[in-house]
Amino acid sequence: MKIKEMVEKWNIVITGRDSENLAIQNMKNITKSDIAEIKKAKPEIITFIKTEEEAKEKARIKKYSDLVKKIPGRSFKNTPDEKRFLELKNKLDHRYFSNPEDESLNWGIDAGNNSIRKEMIKVCDHELKERWDYTLTADIRKKVTHTFKCERCGLYAEDSVEEEVELNWN
C-alpha cells in the first residue's frame, strides 16, 4: 500500500513535540499486519506528512502575501549590556500580597517592576522569536499578525494587518 493511501485511509497524524510519533485516528478495520506495515514505513510517513504540511503552509502564505507586504519592518535598537541587565533583573520584586487590603502594595510593586522592565528592554541582548499568524477576522476578512517576543526581558511587539473590504450598501 502506498504511503499516501495509508495516511488517508487511517488518518495518520504526527503527534508530540519532537514530531517523531504517529497517531492513527481511524482505527476501523485495521489489522495487526496493517499496524506492522505502518511501523515499517514510519520514516516515509513522517516525511510525507511534513511535506504535505509544508505545501499547505506555502499555499496559505501565498494567499496572504499581499497582506504580508503591508506589515512594516521592525528594528529594535538598544545597547546590549549584560552586566546592567543582570543588575536590573535582580532588582525585580517578586512579592505578592493576597490580602485584599494590600492590593495597593501589589500595584506599587507592579509599577516599580514595569519601570525596571522598560530599562531591561533597553540593555537586553534580545533573543527574539518571530511568529507569523495567518487567520481570519470575525467578519471573514484575512488577517496577518507578526509577533516578536524576547523571553529574557519580556519585550513583546505585534504588528497586524487586515484585509480591507469595501462594502456597497446600495
Q: Would you list the DSSP string of 44-69? A: HHHHHHHHHHHHHHHHHHHHTHHHHT
Q: Full-prediction pTM beyond 0.85?
A: no
pLDDT digit of tens for each residue in the chain (170 aa)? 788 888 888 898 988 777 788 888 888 888 899 889 998 999 999 999 999 999 998 998 898 889 989 998 888 888 888 899 999 999 999 888 888 888 899 999 999 999 999 899 889 888 889 999 999 999 889 999 999 999 888 889 999 999 988 777 76
Can you tell me the distance from the alpha carbon of 67 to that of 151, in angstroms, rounded to the nearest whole number? 27
End-to-end CA distance of the chain: 57
Report the pLDDT value the prediction gives residue 147, as an integer from 0 to 100: 94
Can you tell me the distance from the alpha carbon of 133 to that of 66, in angstroms, rounded to the nearest whole number? 14
Sketch the domain layout of the chain as residue ranges. 3-63, 64-74+126-170, 81-123
Phi, psi of 12 (to 5 degrees): -85, 135
- In CATH terms, the fold of domain 64-74+126-170 is N-terminal domain of TfIIb (2.20.25)
Question: 12 pairs with which residues across the strands?
Answer: 24
Beta carbons of 10 and 24 less than 8 angstroms apart: yes
Helix (H) or strand (E) holding 134: strand 128-136
What count of Cα atoms within 13 Å lies in the side-chain half-sphere of residue 46?
12
